[in-house]
């Protein structure tokens, strides 16, 4: 049996990008109007980034922000468990870096937990596999330390019950994220830069213009929004939203 354990330990800065989200109408330029459908982690991140670039953003969610798929999962920020394909590994290393940059930009608050991660196994064969993985990750310059159970209790987790000589891998750069708390903070920051939030509002219809682009969003209570673009971040409902303009979105 293999065991994984987030270690309990505990930046700021970075100004918003200078490129503005503007659209030209005749001789004038105005902020681009974007409806973001679904305010989980994807929608909240997109909405915040668009809003701080000057777009007029409306965040739309049939429920409450961050209480769908984002709230159902444990968000482990790592690449050490994703080594089969090098491209996927590199993507996740970049994601770890992006999370650290985000924490430095908006503050860690209650969403960011850079605790590190401990991993060990009971059976000798599984222990050997872990040591092989540690060697592979070290070759890729991924921070990993090989400790013993005794060292872990002395340095990191005094209450951890692992035999003294059992090899334990420590991944100091890994973290976990409280998704709902992060969504709440991103929505707060987006609203502070001019975004609007429509909670408890489902999308009932999407209207297109002569060029085929989506130009209106009608909500469940009848409100109609004029838009230049729609971001479909509706999670399990994304296929339904796409179907409103006769688009098929495969969901796995």
What confidence score (pLDDT) does residue 74 get? Answer: 82
What confidence score (pLDDT) does residue 100 get? Answer: 98
Query: Tokens in use for 108?
Result: 């860690």
Least confident of 5-19, 26-40, 76-90, 125-139: 5-19
Residues 141, 192 share a domain: no
Last residue of a domain, one of 177, 196, 217: 177
CA distances from 248 to 17, 114, 135, 239, 240 (A): 34, 39, 44, 7, 9
Residues 171, 101 share a domain: yes
Helix (H) or strand (E) holding 167: strand 167-171
Give the number of C-alpha atoms closer than 13 A to the C-alpha of residue 163, restricted to the C-beta side: 8
Residues 197, 168 share a domain: no
CB atoms within 10 A of CB 43: 29
Give yes or no for residue 189 having a pLDDT over 80.
yes
26 in a structural domain: yes
Residues 187, 122 share a domain: no
31-38 average pLDDT score:
97
15 in a structural domain: no
User: What's the CA gap between 38 and 182, in Å, rounded?
Assistant: 15
Residue 172 near residue 78 (C-beta atoms within 8 A): no
Helix (H) or strand (E) holding 215: strand 214-219
Residues 187, 172 share a domain: no
Query: Tokens in use for 138?
Result: 């070290």
Residues 87, 65 share a domain: no
Cα-only R_g, the chain? 22
Last residue of a domain, one of 139, 156, 177: 177
Residues 103, 153 share a domain: yes
Tell me the pLDDT tens digit for each residue of 131-145: 999 999 999 999 999
149 in a structural domain: yes
Confidence band of 2 (pLDDT split at 50, 70, 90): low
| CATH code of the domain in which 189 resides | 3.50.50.60
Residue 70 near residue 183 (C-beta atoms within 8 A): yes
DSSP 8-state secondary structure symbol assigned to residue 32? P
Residue 169 near residue 120 (C-beta atoms within 8 A): yes
Residues 84, 62 share a domain: no
DSSP 8-state secondary structure symbol assigned to residue 212? S
Confidence band of 20 (pLDDT split at 50, 70, 90): low
Residues 183, 172 share a domain: no
17-39 average pLDDT score:
77
33 in a structural domain: yes
Residues 172, 85 share a domain: yes
Range of the domain at 89: 2-9+75-177
Q: Percent helix, strand, coil in the chain (nearest 5)?
A: 35, 25, 40
Residues 99, 187 share a domain: no
Residues 184, 169 share a domain: no
Last residue of a domain, one of 124, 150, 177: 177
221 in a structural domain: yes
16 in a structural domain: no
> How many structural domains comprise the chain?
2
């Amino acid at each position: 049996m293999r065991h994984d354990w987030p270690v309990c330990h505990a930046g700021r800065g970075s100004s918003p990008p200078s490129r503005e989200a503007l659209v030209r109408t005749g001789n004038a330029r105005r902020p681009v109007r974007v409806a973001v459908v679904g305010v989980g982690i994807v929608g909240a991140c997109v909405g915040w980034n668009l809003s701080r670039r000057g777009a007029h953003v409306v965040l739309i969610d049939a429920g409450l922000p961050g209480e769908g798929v984002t709230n159902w999962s444990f968000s482990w920020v790592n690449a050490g468990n994703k080594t089969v394909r090098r491209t996927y590994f590199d993507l996740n290393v970049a994601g770890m870096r992006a999370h650290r940059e985000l924490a430095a930009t908006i503050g860690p608050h209650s969403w960011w937990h850079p605790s590190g991660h401990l991993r060990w196994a009971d059976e000798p064969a599984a222990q050997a596999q872990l040591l092989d993985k540690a060697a592979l990750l070290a070759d890729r310059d991924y921070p990993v330390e090989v400790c013993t159970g005794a060292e872990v209790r002395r340095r990191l987790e005094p209450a951890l019950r692992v035999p003294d000589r059992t090899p334990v891998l420590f991944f100091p750069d890994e973290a976990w994220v409280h998704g709902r708390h992060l969504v709440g903070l991103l929505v707060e920051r987006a609203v502070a830069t001019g975004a609007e939030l429509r909670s408890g509002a489902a999308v009932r219809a999407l209207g297109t213009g002569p060029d085929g682009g989506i130009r209106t969003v009608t909500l469940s209570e009848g409100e109609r929004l004029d838009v230049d673009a729609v971001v479909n971040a509706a999670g399990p409902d994304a296929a339904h939203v796409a179907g409103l303009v006769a688009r098929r979105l495969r969901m796995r």
